C-alpha cells in the first residue's frame, strides 16, 4: 500500500495558501496549511509531512526560525522548499535561508511564474 504524500504549507497569505492547497489537492496530494510559523512548526513536528512549502515572511515566527526548528527536531531528511513573494532583492535572495538546507527556493513576483533554484520530485508511486 502506497503512503500518501502530505504537503505542509506554512503561508500567511490566505489567497496563496488556498491556491496552493487547491492545486496540490487536485493533483492528489494531502495538504495541510498553516497561517503562521508557530502553528506550522508545532504541527510539522507533531506529524511530519512528506514535504514543506515554507514562506519566509510569517507572523509570530520568521520562516528561517521555523526552518531551524524543523531541522533541530526532525533532522535534514525532510524536504523544505522556501517561498517568498518579496519584491525586495535582498529578501528574495536570502542565502541565510538557503544555507539552512532547503531543497528549493521559489520566488513569485507579481503575476510572473515562480523560479526555483533547486529541484525535487514527488511521486504518487
Q: Quick check: is 125 in a domain?
A: no
Q: Quick check: is 84 in a domain?
A: yes
Tens digit of each residue's pLDDT (9 = 90 or more) over 43-80: 999 999 999 999 888 988 988 899 889 999 998 888 88
Q: Quick check: is 46 in a domain?
A: yes
The pTM assigned to this predicted structure is: 0.76
Q: Quick check: is 1 in a domain?
A: no
The strand ranges marked E within 45-125 are 51-55, 80-84, 104-107, 115-116
Q: Quick check: is 123 in a domain?
A: no
pLDDT at 41 over 90: yes
Q: Quick check: is 45 in a domain?
A: yes
Who contacts 42 (Cβ-Cβ below 8 Å, separation ≥6)? none
State the residue range of the domain holding 94: 6-116
- Per-residue cell: 49: 509531512
Query: What is the rounded distance in angstroms from the CA atom of residue 8 to the CA atom of residue 14?
Result: 14
Structural domains of the chain, count: 1
Using 50, 70 and 90 to split pLDDT, how confident is the model at 82? confident
Tens digit of each residue's pLDDT (9 = 90 or more) over 86-125: 655 444 455 454 444 555 555 444 434 344 444 444 544 4
Residue 74: CATH number of its domain? 3.40.50.2300
Could you tell me which of 70, 72, 118, 77 has the C-alpha nearest to residue 98? 118
Amino acid at each position: 500500500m502506497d503512503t500518501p504524500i502530505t504537503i505542509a504549507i506554512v503561508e500567511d497569505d490566505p489567497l496563496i495558501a488556498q491556491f496552493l492547497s487547491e492545486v496540490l489537492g487536485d493533483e492528489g496530494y494531502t495538504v495541510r496549511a498553516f497561517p503562521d510559523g508557530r502553528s506550522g512548526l508545532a504541527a510539522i513536528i507533531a506529524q511530519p509531512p512528506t514535504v514543506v512549502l515554507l514562506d519566509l515572511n510569517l507572523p509570530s515566527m520568521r520562516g528561517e526560525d521555523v526552518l531551524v526548528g524543523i531541522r533541530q527536531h526532525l533532522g535534514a531528511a525532510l524536504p523544505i522548499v522556501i517561498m517568498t513573494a518579496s519584491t525586495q532583492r535582498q529578501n528574495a535572495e536570502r542565502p541565510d535561508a538557503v544555507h539552512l538546507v532547503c531543497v528549493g527556493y521559489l520566488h513569485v513576483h507579481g503575476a510572473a511564474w515562480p523560479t526555483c533554484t533547486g529541484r525535487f520530485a514527488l511521486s504518487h508511486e
